[in-house]
C-alpha cells in the first residue's frame, strides 16, 4: 500500500511539474475529471506537453528576476500579485531576496525564528508553515529576513542545493492537492534577489516561467542578454521545463526619447516576449512601500495601479495560451479610470526598495 501511494505521489508530482493546464480544468464542467494528454499553446511558440491529470488546476509558478537592483522587480512582484488577487486568483508571493524588501513592502513584521524562506531552504520548516495570509483577499506571502543572506554559505556543501526550493514547493503543492483536491494557489510569484547566485538559481529551478523585469535604460539590453544566458544554462542543466514567458518594462517615462528608444530596442531584439503594458514612473508606486501597502490599497486610482491592472490582464490572457504579442487588450471594465497625471508628470524617480 505504501509503495502504491508513493508511486501515485510520483505520478502526481510529475503532473505538477508538467505543463500548466490553463483555465479548462478550473471550470465547473471539467472539475473532477482526470486529464491525460493536453496540447496547449505556450506563451512563446507552440509546444506539446503531457500532463498526468488530477482534479485540480496546477499552480502557475513564475520567477521575477534581474541581476540589477532598483529596476522595479519587487514593486512588480507585489503589485502584479495584488492585481491578480483582485482579479480573483489565489496568489502566494515568495520573498527570495535577503534584503526582504517584499516582506517589508507588505508590512510584515517577523518575530524571532518565524517560518521564513531561509528556514525552508535549511529544511527547518515547510512552505505550508511559512505561508501567511495578508489583509488582501486571495493574497498570501512567504516572508524572509536578513538571515537569508547567509543561506548560500550554509548550503555550499549541501547535496542538490540548486533544487532545494523546488523540492519544498513540490511537496507543498502535492500534499495540498492530496488533502484538498486543489492546488494551494493559482499563482506563485517568486521575487528573486538582484544577483545570479545560489538563491537566484533556486528560484529559477523552482519555477516553470520567468519574467525578466527591466528598466528602460541603456544597460537594460546588456543585462537582458546575460539573464537569458543564465536561464538557458538552468534549462540545459537543471530544469528543462523553465521558459522565459514575459519581459516587464518598468520605470518607463514616455517623455524621454532614451526610454522610448530602449523600449523599441527591447521589443525588436526580443519579439513576442515583451508585455504590451509598460509600468510608468509614478510617485505613488514609490510611496506605497513606506506604508506597507500595495498600490491598490494606497492609491487605487493612480496611473501605477492602472498600469499593473493592465499588466495583470495580459498575464491572465496567457492562461489560455496566446503569446504576449497576441494577448488581448484589457477591457475597459478591468481597469479603473485614472485621474489626470498632474503631479505624477514630475515624478520620474525610480521606486525605492527595488
- Ordered by start, the domain boundaries in the chain are 59-346
Q: How far apart are CA 267 and CA 204, in angstroms?
A: 23
State yes or no: pLDDT of 30 exceeds 50.
no
Highest average pLDDT, of 53-62, 79-88, 191-200, 264-273, comes from 79-88
Mean pLDDT, residues 214-230 taken together: 81
* Contact indicator for 208, 189 with CB cutoff of 8 Å: no
The percentage of residues in the chain with a pLDDT greater than 70, rounded to a whole number, is: 74
Instruction: List all residues 6 or more positions away from 280 whose beta carbon is below 8 Å from its beta carbon.
Output: 251, 252, 253, 254, 303, 304, 307
Instruction: List all residues 6 or more positions away from 352 whose beta carbon is below 8 Å from its beta carbon.
Output: 286, 289
Which of 234, 194, 166 lies closest to 70 in space, CA to CA? 194
- Position 210 scores a pLDDT of 95
- Position 17 scores a pLDDT of 36
Highest average pLDDT, of 47-56, 164-173, 209-218, 248-257, comes from 164-173
Is the pLDDT higher at 256 or at 350?
Answer: 256
When the pLDDT of each residue in the chain is averaged and rounded to a whole number, the result is 79
State yes or no: pLDDT of 201 exceeds 50.
yes
Q: How far apart are CA 309 and CA 335, in angstroms?
A: 6
How far CA 88 is from CA of 190, 242, 248, 278, 331, in Å, comes to 19, 26, 22, 23, 16
Q: How far is CA 336 from the centre of its chain?
A: 23
- Position 354 scores a pLDDT of 56
The percentage of residues in the chain with a pLDDT greater than 90, rounded to a whole number, is: 54
Is the pLDDT higher at 205 or at 225?
Answer: 205
State yes or no: pLDDT of 131 exceeds 60.
yes
State yes or no: pLDDT of 11 exceeds 70.
no
* Contact indicator for 191, 94 with CB cutoff of 8 Å: yes
Cα dihedral 114→119→120→123 (10° resolution): -130
State yes or no: pLDDT of 31 exceeds 90.
no
Strand 139-142 with 132-133, pairing? antiparallel
Instruction: Indicate the pLDDT class of residue 321, thresholds 50, 70 and 90.
Output: low
- Position 315 scores a pLDDT of 96
Q: What is the pTM of this model?
A: 0.75
Indicate the burial class of 77 (C-beta count within 10 angstroms; 0-12, 13-18, 19 or more): buried
Which of helix, strand or coil describes residue 231? helix
State yes or no: pLDDT of 2 exceeds 70.
no
* Contact indicator for 27, 154 with CB cutoff of 8 Å: no
Fold of 59-346: Rossmann fold (3.40.50)
| Residue found by looking up cell 510529475 in the block | 14
Amino acid at each position: 500500500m505504501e509503495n502504491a501511494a508513493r508511486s501515485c505521489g510520483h505520478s502526481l508530482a510529475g503532473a505538477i511539474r508538467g505543463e500548466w493546464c490553463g483555465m479548462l480544468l478550473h471550470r465547473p464542467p471539467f472539475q473532477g475529471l482526470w486529464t491525460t494528454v493536453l496540447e496547449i499553446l505556450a506563451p512563446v511558440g507552440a509546444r506539446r506537453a503531457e500532463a498526468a491529470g488530477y482534479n485540480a488546476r496546477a499552480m502557475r509558478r513564475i520567477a521575477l528576476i534581474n541581476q540589477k537592483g532598483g529596476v522595479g522587480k519587487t514593486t512588480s512582484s507585489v503589485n502584479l500579485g495584488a492585481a491578480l488577487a483582485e482579479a480573483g486568483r489565489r496568489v502566494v508571493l515568495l520573498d527570495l531576496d535577503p534584503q526582504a524588501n517584499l516582506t517589508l513592502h507588505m508590512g510584515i513584521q517577523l518575530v524571532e525564528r518565524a517560518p521564513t524562506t531561509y528556514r525552508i531552504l535549511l529544511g527547518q520548516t515547510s512552505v505550508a508553515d511559512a505561508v501567511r495570509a495578508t489583509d488582501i483577499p486571495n493574497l498570501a506571502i512567504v516572508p524572509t529576513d536578513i538571515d537569508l543572506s547567509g543561506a548560500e554559505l550554509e548550503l555550499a556543501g549541501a547535496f542538490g542545493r540548486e533544487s532545494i526550493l523546488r523540492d519544498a514547493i513540490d511537496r507543498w503543492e502535492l500534499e495540498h492537492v492530496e488533502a484538498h483536491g486543489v492546488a494551494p494557489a493559482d499563482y506563485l510569484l517568486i521575487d528573486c534577489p538582484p544577483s545570479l547566485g545560489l538563491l537566484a538559481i533556486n528560484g529559477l529551478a523552482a519555477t516553470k516561467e520567468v519574467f525578466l523585469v527591466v528598466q528602460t535604460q541603456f544597460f537594460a539590453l546588456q543585462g537582458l542578454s546575460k539573464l537569458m544566458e543564465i536561464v538557458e544554462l538552468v534549462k540545459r542543466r537543471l530544469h528543462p521545463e523553465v521558459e522565459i514567458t514575459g519581459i516587464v518594462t518598468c520605470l518607463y517615462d514616455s517623455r524621454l526619447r532614451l526610454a522610448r528608444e530602449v523600449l523599441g530596442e527591447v521589443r525588436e531584439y526580443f519579439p513576442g516576449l515583451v508585455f504590451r503594458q509598460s509600468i510608468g514612473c509614478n510617485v505613488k508606486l514609490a510611496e506605497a512601500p513606506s506604508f506597507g501597502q500595495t498600490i491598490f490599497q494606497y492609491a487605487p486610482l493612480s496611473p501605477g495601479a492602472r498600469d499593473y491592472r493592465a499588466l495583470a490582464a495580459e498575464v491572465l490572457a496567457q492562461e489560455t495560451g496566446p503569446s504576449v504579442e497576441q494577448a488581448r487588450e484589457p477591457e475597459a471594465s478591468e481597469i479603473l479610470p485614472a485621474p489626470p497625471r498632474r503631479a505624477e508628470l514630475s515624478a520620474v524617480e525610480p521606486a525605492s526598495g527595488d
